[in-house]
């Protein structure tokens, strides 16, 4: 008597998401951490040609996004940003210096990891930002939305210039 393989397989959809070890193992796609992260001479690495990255230092419309503008003391602005980041779910703060922060944002359910960097540009009174997905060609606007959500949480869009 032949056994149908369908009767013995387990559907991923049927697994409980409350089982952390199982769901984390099946739904985790962190990708490889890029080697080109960081700031060199006040500049982030350029965005790749794919549409899954935004940067306030990018010149092309597809990747360009406004930096965070502040009118308070630079150290206070950077501290406020750090506080907002620490309050976000699924964010790991990896590097913090006086003028640079590097974070990893892990997307819920699928576990994709995005690299998000911040550079305190004291000369121009802005915090430069770069947000890039590690995997795929498109992020369906996730990186742009993330930066704009952070801008809202900082209160910049309400005129406070944090």
Query: CATH no. for residue 107?
Result: 3.30.310.80
Residue 11: inside a domain: no
9: in domain: no
DSSP readout, 8-70? T---GGGS-TT-HHHHHHHS----PPPTT-S-BTTBPPPP-SSBSEEETT--STTTB-PPEE-
CA–CA dist 15, 125 (Å, integer): 49
Residue 13 in any domain: the answer is: no
- Residue whose pair of structure tokens reads 């990255």 in the numeric block: 53
Q: Is residue 75 part of a domain?
A: yes
Is residue 110 in some structural domain? yes
Domain that holds residue 67: 46-158
Q: What is the pLDDT of residue 29?
A: 67
pTM: 0.79
Query: Quick one: pLDDT at residue 4?
Result: 43
Contacts by 58-67, CB closer than 8 A, 24 or more apart: 65/129, 65/144, 65/147, 65/148, 66/151, 67/121, 67/124, 67/126, 67/127, 67/128, 67/129
Tell me if 67 sits within 8 A of 122, measured CB to CB.
no
Query: How high is the pLDDT of residue 59?
Result: 95
100 within some domain? yes
Residue 37 lies in a domain: no
Work out whether strand 126-133 and strand 91-96 pair parallel, antiparallel, or are unpaired: unpaired
- Round to whole Å and give the CA distance between 154 and 19: 35
On whether residue 20 sits in a domain, the answer given is no
Quote the number of domains for the chain. Answer: 1
Confidence at residue 140, expressed as pLDDT on a 0 to 100 scale = 85
- Token digits for 108? 């819920």
Rounded average pLDDT per 10-residue block, the chain, 162 residues: 40 39 51 86 96 96 97 96 96 97 90 94 98 85 96 77 64
């Amino acid at each position: 008597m032949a056994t149908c393989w369908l009767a013995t397989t387990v559907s991923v959809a049927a697994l409980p998401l409350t089982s952390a070890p199982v769901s984390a193992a099946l739904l985790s796609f962190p990708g490889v951490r890029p080697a080109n992260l960081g700031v060199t001479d006040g500049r982030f690495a350029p965005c790749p040609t794919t549409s899954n990255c935004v940067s306030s230092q990018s010149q092309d419309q597809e990747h360009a996004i406004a930096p965070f503008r502040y009118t308070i003391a630079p150290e206070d602005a950077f501290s406020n940003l750090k506080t907002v980041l620490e309050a976000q779910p699924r964010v790991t703060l990896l590097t913090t210096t006086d003028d640079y922060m590097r974070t990893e944002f892990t997307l819920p359910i699928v576990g994709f990891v995005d690299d998000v960097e911040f550079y305190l540009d004291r000369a121009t009174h802005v915090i430069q930002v770069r947000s890039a997905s590690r995997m795929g060609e498109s992020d369906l606007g996730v990186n742009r939305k993330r930066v704009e959500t952070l801008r809202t949480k900082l209160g910049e869009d309400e005129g406070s210039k944090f």
